[in-house]
Amino acid sequence: MKTKHLIAGLAGSLTISLCGIASAKSTVHESVQSALNWHLPEMECTKPLLRGQGIAIVDGTGDRTQTDVDSYTLNRHARKMKRYESCLSAYKDVLNTDFETLKGSVQYGLTGAQANTILENMKLIQSTIISLNK
């Protein structure tokens, strides 16, 4: 939710930046150029699957799945899940750092098209983080 409020606050900052600085400059600052060229990094984390025979058990709260595997397989799966969660956390950290970098590029002044491109990139980061939390 933090990024949602940041984008809303950033829209006002972009409007202010558009008026003054961008019209006076004819060259694009390197931070703005890197923000315009930004692409979503590839997520290399793959969620491990627990192999085994699944049996659907229905109780009062909804569907549950019980897997018929031994404790060694369950422990291996728990270790794999821990590595996956660590990888996912590192990926989110990279996205948050990129978000802050995009936000910081505003201080150099932007044209309308540049502002729209950077805002689209920020929206992409925000939607990716939200989808990873589900």
Closest C-alpha among 84, 9, 95 to residue 50 = 84
Number of domains in the chain: 1
Cα-Cα-Cα-Cα dihedral of 4, 10, 12, 17, to 10°?
A: -170
Distances in whole angstroms, Cα of residue 8 to Cα of each of 20, 35, 93, 110, 113: 20, 18, 21, 17, 18
Q: Mean of the pLDDT values across residues 75-86?
A: 94
**Phi, psi of 33, deg, nearest 5:** -65, -40
How large a percentage of the chain has pLDDT more than 90? 51
Residue count (the chain): 134
Q: How confident is the model at residue 14 (pLDDT cuts 50, 70, 90)?
A: very low
- pTM (2 d.p.): 0.68
Beta strands (DSSP E) in the chain are 53-59, 62-68
Per DSSP bridges, beta strands 53-59 and 62-68 are: antiparallel
State the average pLDDT over residues 123-128: 96
Domain that includes residue 123, residue range? 2-132
> Quick check: 110 and 14 in contact, CB under 8 A?
yes
Q: Taking a C-beta distance cutoff of 8 angstroms, is the pair 108, 31 a contact?
A: yes
pLDDT for 128 beyond 60: yes
